[in-house]
Amino acid sequence: MGCITPLGHTVAEMWGNVLRGASGASATELFDARTFPSTFSSQVKRFKLTDHVADHGVHRHAGRNTQFALAAAEQAWRQSGLDKHAPDPRRVGVYLGSGEGSLDFANFVSVMVESWSTTEDKLDTVRWAELAFERMDAMREMEQEPNMPASHVALRYNARGPNFNCLTACAASTQANGEAASAIRRGDVDLMISGGCHSMIHPFGVTGFNRLTALSQRNDSPATASRPFDQTRDGFVLGEGSSILILEEYEHARARGASMFAEIIGYGSSADAYRITDIHPEGRGGAAAMQYAIDDAGIAKADVDYICAHGTSTKENDRTETQAVKTVFGELAAKIPVSSPKSMLGHLIAAAGTTELICCVMAIRDGILPPTLNLNTPDPECDLDYVPNKPRKANVRTCMNNSFGFGGQNDCVIVRKMG
């Protein structure tokens, strides 16, 4: 496992800060956001690719999201011992959930402004071509394609097997993990580098989420702004980062003496087929994904010890996710601890699901549940056990990880302790 997050540049650092109830939210520094409705975000700070990757020059054009993925992948690769036991590159694949890369805003805007014909009120394409070919870097423009992180990671580790990218908003990296595990099950590969990365803390990204009224505007108190399941919640905190896993077929890992943390035993995916930006009010899509994952795992509902919620801190998500959990688990729902690491990390969009799956694995390893921070005024419609404000010791063997994305994408992965 490897991660680059607002709460740390390693799994140990991130997990330690989660258990301490730290917050990654602060005033936005990546651009001047003082005139935006939301002036804060959950940023990765003090990050340099040179601190993580030796041959960083090969990736010098990579966007911010791709650099996060490369650094997280390096941690996971080394922790897995694959730097000492090189696998057959034809049997190594990559599956990432990642969004668009960083746009070259400065040059793009200057070319656009200078190419606009005020007399005809339209773009002068002749002038555009002249300026664009003069000022805009072709490599930087190419790096905004969503498949670039997967391509860079494959290059870094000579992964010549299947290479996939999914851009399914907030569900992307959970989908990537589920599909990567499925590829191993089918026998397509021995090993998959999976996870997600995203960086949308730029004017375009923040404007979009503000226009959707999805972001918290608690500008006077960023650290307490993400408050999933709390009655006073007013939106999520936009974050960034990357988390990467090495998923490997059991016998293949055993043969090389790899240390194994946990096993992915179930995966479910569904679509709301309702509205693009709204969740079905009964949470039918999320409930379906959870049920599919349970069926795929072949376990009883009572076997689930902990649910790592999508838990975004928006009115709609938290209420409907609660309803979906009740639909699936019935009377058991009140007995299963549910919590949201987003209350500390912020919402890492395409990287969120894998970061939260790492929290599940660490909960299994350490026997302790991450809390839901800032839950002081429970919403009457959100009436489950959300592990409020403090971590909790627990015997954790099987965890469910939920991720629900814009457009009605729902993905769920179930992970279990080895042995």
Mark whether 412 is an active-site residue: no
Contacts of residue 133, defined as CB under 8 A and 6 or more positions apart, other chains included, come to: none
Residue 72 is inside which H or E element, if any?
Answer: helix 64-79
Distance CA 30, CA 52 (A): 21
β-bridge partners, 324: none
Instruction: Report the C-alpha gap between 165 and 187 in whole angstroms.
Output: 19
Residue 41, class by beta-carbon neighbours within 10 Å (0-12 exposed, 13-18 middle, 19+ buried)? buried
Maximum Cα–Cα distance for the chain, whole Å?
Answer: 73
Q: Which residues contact 217 (CB under 8 A, 6 or more apart)?
A: 37, 38, 234, 235
How far apart, in whole angstroms, are the C-alpha atoms of residue 168 and residue 95? Answer: 13
At 199, which helix (H) or strand (E)? strand 191-199
The active-site residue, picked from 166, 280, 310, 360, is: 310
Give the active site residue among 347, 359, 382, 399.
347
Strand-strand pairing, 306-308 and 398-405: parallel
Distance CA 263, CA 418 (A): 6
Task: Reply yes or no on whether 359 is catalytic.
Answer: no
Neighbouring C-beta atoms of residue 289, cutoff 10 Å: 31
Pull the structure tokens for residue 145. Answer: 């394609």
- CA-wise closest residue to 131 among 151, 156, 164, 109: 109
Give catalytic status of residue 310 as yes or no: yes
Catalytic residue of the set 3, 170, 197, 308: 170
Closest CA to 281 of 335, 322, 239: 322
Residue given tokens 């912020």 in the structure block: 346
Q: Which of these, 408, 362, 28, lies nearest to 205 by C-alpha position?
A: 28
Give the residue numbers annotated as catalytic, written as ranges. Answer: 170, 310, 347
